[in-house]
């Protein structure tokens, strides 16, 4: 049995569901994976809750508080006056689980937390695209991606929810040359495009998606293609091993489309999708995100609104296609558990 | 740099292509994976060729001999009088690569070789379904599936070619409960059913598939469903963690179908496929292989003749679908390289 004391930052949809999964799967984690996970610091925008001799963290109490929209600082022993970075420095943490909100300008607290953890030799599992899209090379160089003796860094939940995008690309296609990557990496635009094809205007579709909780109140990152572009940047660095940032991606969003264009494509038996593409040009990959009409024979033409997909065309492994069908935040939260278990399996410390 | 001396048994389509891949990828394996693979024993039905001070094995010479249909015993320093088991005992081998022919009655030399290697603490990568379908539990218990300090055992090429069936099921869906598995795991029957849907009789389709090199001269294992059933048995043991052998699978082949039935299904917009299914019954998985008409909306309804697929329905990871598109034996051979590199990555020895 190996014990890991964890810090979880961010208790929104993904973080809270991760706590529920860890609670539900506690027995299987002990019995089948010989892993004992101890919640040591939980942090949200209200402050932090730390374990101490006087206070063993009760996961169910935290889950119930979050369901009732209360921050951890309001709980007994909660503290609104120390930051998650201080909490990481002052507690014995083995793994940081980062489910903080995406900040694409600065990387936000997720970037600071990931840097500090890796510096301290603490493993990091993150579902936060921001730090990776901005600083992939720096963070990878501090982690086991660079040297197996360094702390683990995993981020599969940041790139397509529960779809094993990164693991398949890096491990299952080991030593391959990848000629082309095609992917549908943004679920929100899939839903909006489907609504437009079925008769809604762009604005109606956006409002409906917000109403259904599928789009965020400000859906800019999704509809302008930046969310998909971020994920493509991470795949390019992690799988294609080409240094890339957002500046290297030609990005066109679905906000450029009129509903009648989307419907005209559908009338032809095709399907408009926001497609992320990396194409090998002989000495580098050309990266783009753009709405593309897919012929009915294209393997992505029939993806439902709750599906994402990626397709790797390789030299020796043929073409490998992954499709994920997922509703809500649970599969992205589960990807963080998968990543933690991968670190555990690979851990030589 | 870590050096692995390997024994490769079986130099048919998969074994020979693996040698070509190892030759082509030598530099990338050294530079990016810090791995140096030295051919130490190569064995085929003619005998063995072993490395010695007087004889460093020249991979290209062996590849060319095999292309010219010559056995390794005919090469300088080749030996027709010792068995591959003796060669394993008498040479310093770090990893056995088993590409020997499938024998579903006894397991054949592949089973003996795998047992001997694991007993000696030698890693095994196998593309041979026979030993696994017959003796999965015994072999897993001798390997790192049981205890990380034991030698590695990997077999992804035995279950769907280059499709990452096993890795995704075991690692990417870690700690999940899988409610249902559906899979198309036999490419030959896909091709034959497609020919029948297009107007061929069953016998014509078989003859054409043999002529094209897609079916073996005796296609019994494919058309009667045993090949798919074997793969399902391996998935059941390795991914679903239920002990199973062929006796636990209800098997119906496509040899029970008339061409007019296949065409009638197609006329309805559906598609006949040989579907392997594992369904959770509350306390065990019910296993079956049978021809099933798939509605046009089914994710496998549009698989081409050169495609296989598997779909895992889970509790926390949503539904994950994998599709492999592959021609010829290279992707199955590449799966053996993937497996070797996975052993290397996980190796704590």
- ipTM of this complex prediction, to 2 decimal places: 0.96
Q: Which residue has the tokens 């996980």?
A: B346
Locate A211 and state its tokens. Answer: 């109403």
3-state secondary structure of B26: helix
Task: Determine, for residues A171 and B168 on separate chains, whether the beta-carbon distance falls below 8 Å.
Answer: no
Interchain contact, B325 vs A330, CB within 8 Å: no
Per-residue pLDDT at A348? 55
Tokens 């993150």: give the residue.
Answer: A126
Show residues of chain B in contact with A327, CB under 8 Å.
Answer: 318
Residue A280 backbone zone (phi > 0: left; psi -120 to 50: alpha; other: beta): beta
CA distance A264 to chain B (A): 22
Which residue from A319, A326, A348 is facing B325, i.e. has the nearest CB? A319
Chain B contact set for A167 (CB, 8 A): 167-168, 171-172
- Residue from the list B172, B175, B342 with its beta carbon closest to the beta carbon of A164: B172
Q: Which residues contact B216 (CB under 8 A, 6 or more apart)?
A: B188, B210, B222
Q: In this model, does residue A150 exceed pLDDT 90? A: yes
Mean pLDDT over residues B171-200, rounded?
Answer: 96
Nearest Cα residue in chain B from A311: B323
Q: For residue B158, is pLDDT > 50?
A: yes
The tens digit of pLDDT for each residue in A226-252 reads: 999 999 999 999 999 999 999 999 999
B331/A317 touch (CB, cutoff 8 Å), yes or no: yes
Question: Is the Cβ pair A334, B176 closer than 8 Å?
Answer: yes
Strand-pair category, A285-294 with A249-251: parallel
Average pLDDT score, chain A: 95
Average pLDDT over residues B164-188: 97
In the predicted structure, residue B249 carries a pLDDT above the cut 90: yes
pLDDT at B143: 97
Whole-number mean pLDDT of chain B? Answer: 95
Mean pLDDT to the nearest integer, A267-290: 97
A192 membership: H or E segment, kind and range: helix A187-197
Test the A interface: residue of B175, B298, B309 with most A CBs within 10 Å: B175
Tell me if B330 and A323 make a contact (CB, 8 A cut-off): no
Q: Inspect the interface and report whether the beta carbons of A324 and B320 lie closer than 8 Å.
A: yes
Q: Which residues of chain A make contact with B176, given a CB cutoff of 8 A?
A: 334
Identify the closest residue of chain B to A309 by CA–CA distance: B321
Mean pLDDT of B90-110: 95
pLDDT higher than threshold 70 for residue A135: yes
**What span, in angstroms and rounded, lies between the C-alpha atoms of A148 and A103?**
29
B300 pLDDT above the threshold of 70 = yes
Query: What is the pLDDT at residue B20?
Result: 97
pLDDT of residue B125: 98
Do the chains contact at A25 and B320, CB–CB below 8 Å? no
3-state secondary structure of B153: strand
Percent of chain A scoring above 70 in pLDDT: 99
* pLDDT of B224 over the 60 cut: yes
What distance lies between CA A102 and its chain's CA centroid?
10
> Cβ of B324 and A319 within 8 Å?
yes
What is the C-alpha separation between A30 and A38, in angstroms, rounded?
12
- Local structure of A42: helix, strand or coil: strand
Q: For B288-308, what is the mean pLDDT?
A: 93
Q: List chain A residues with CB under 8 Å of B345.
A: 171, 346
CA A167 to chain CA centroid, nearest Å: 13
The reported pTM is 0.96
Exposure string over B91-114, b if 16+ CB within 10 A, otherwise e = eebbbbbbbbebbbeebbbbbbbb
Nearest to A167 by CA among A37, A327, A320: A320
Q: Which residues in chain B have Cβ-Cβ distances shorter than 8 Å to A335? A: 317
Query: Quick one: pLDDT at residue A8?
Result: 98
Q: Give A64-100 pLDDT, tens digit per residue.
A: 999 999 999 999 999 999 999 999 999 999 999 999 9
In chain A, whose CA is at the least distance from the CA of B322? Answer: A322
Answer yes or no: do A317 and B327 touch at CB < 8 A: no
Reported confidence tier of residue A349, pLDDT bands at 50, 70, 90: very low
Cross-chain residue pair B338–A32, CB shorter than 8 Å: no
The predicted pLDDT at position B349 comes to 43
Cβ–Cβ of B348/A348 closer than 8 Å? yes
Chain Cα centroid distance, residue B238: 13
* Partners of residue A317 in chain B, C-beta under 8 Å: 162, 326, 331, 334-335, 338
Q: Tell me if A320 and B162 make a contact (CB, 8 A cut-off).
A: yes
Task: Say yes or no to pLDDT of B57 above 60.
Answer: yes
Minimal Cα–Cα distance from B51 to chain A, Å? Answer: 26
- Is B8 within 8 Å of B57 (Cβ atoms)? no
Is residue A180 pLDDT above 90, yes or no?
Answer: yes
Is B321's CB within 8 Å of A325's CB?
yes
The pLDDT, as a whole number, for residue A58 is 92
Contacts of B341 in chain A (CB under 8 A): 171, 174-175
Q: Stretch B242-271: mean pLDDT, rounded?
A: 95
Name the DSSP letter for residue B80. Answer: S
Q: Which residues of B touch A21 (CB under 8 A)?
A: 316
Nearest C-alpha neighbor of B15 from the set B36, B35, B45: B45
- The answer to whether the beta carbons of residues A278 and A249 sit under 8 Å apart is no
Q: Where would I find the H helices in chain B?
A: 13-24, 26-33, 59-67, 84-90, 108-119, 129-141, 165-167, 187-197, 202-211, 220-223, 226-238, 259-267, 330-346
Q: Tally C-beta pairs within 8 A across A and B.
A: 144
Are the Cβ atoms of B29 and A320 closer than 8 angstroms?
no
Q: Which two tokens stand for residue B213?
A: 């090199």
Q: Which residues make Cβ contacts (< 8 Å) with residue B257, sequence separation at least 6?
A: B193, B196, B202, B272, B291
């Amino acid at each position: 049995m190996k014990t890991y004391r964890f810090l979880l930052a961010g208790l929104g949809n993904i973080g809270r569901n991760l706590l529920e999964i860890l609670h539900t799967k506690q027995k299987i984690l002990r019995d089948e994976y010989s892993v004992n996970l101890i919640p040591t610091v939980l942090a949200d925008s209200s402050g932090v809750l730390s374990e101490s001799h006087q206070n063993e963290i009760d996961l169910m109490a935290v889950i119930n508080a979050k369901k009732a929209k209360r921050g951890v600082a309001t709980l007994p022993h909660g503290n609104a006056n120390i930051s998650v970075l201080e909490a990481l420095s002052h507690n014995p943490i083995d793994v940081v689980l980062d489910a903080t909100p995406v900040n694409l300008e600065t990387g936000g607290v997720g970037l600071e937390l990931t840097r500090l953890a890796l510096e301290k030799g603490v493993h990091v599992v993150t579902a936060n695209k921001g730090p990776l899209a901005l600083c992939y090379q720096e963070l990878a160089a501090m982690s086991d991606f660079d040297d197996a003796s360094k702390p683990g860094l995993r981020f599969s939940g940041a790139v397509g929810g529960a779809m094993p995008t990164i693991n398949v690309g890096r491990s299952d296609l080991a030593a391959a040359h990848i000629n082309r990557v095609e992917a549908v990496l943004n679920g929100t635009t899939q839903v909006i495009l489907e609504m437009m094809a079925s008769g809604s205007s762009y604005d109606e579709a956006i409002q409906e998606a917000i109403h259904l909780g599928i789009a965020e109140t400000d859906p800019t990152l999704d509809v302008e293609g930046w969310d998909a572009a971020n994920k493509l940047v991470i795949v390019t660095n992690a799988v294609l091993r080409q240094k890339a940032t957002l500046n290297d991606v030609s990005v066109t969003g679905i906000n450029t489309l009129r509903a009648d264009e989307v419907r005209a494509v559908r009338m032809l038996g095709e399907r408009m999708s926001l497609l992320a593409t990396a194409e090998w040009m002989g000495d580098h990959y050309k990266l783009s995100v753009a709405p593309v009409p897919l012929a009915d024979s294209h393997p992505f033409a029939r993806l439902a609104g709750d599906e994402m997909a990626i397709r790797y065309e390789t030299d020796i492994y043929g073409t490998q296609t992954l499709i994920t069908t997922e509703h809500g935040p649970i599969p992205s939260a589960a990807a963080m558990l998968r990543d933690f278990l991968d670190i555990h399996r690979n851990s030589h410390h």
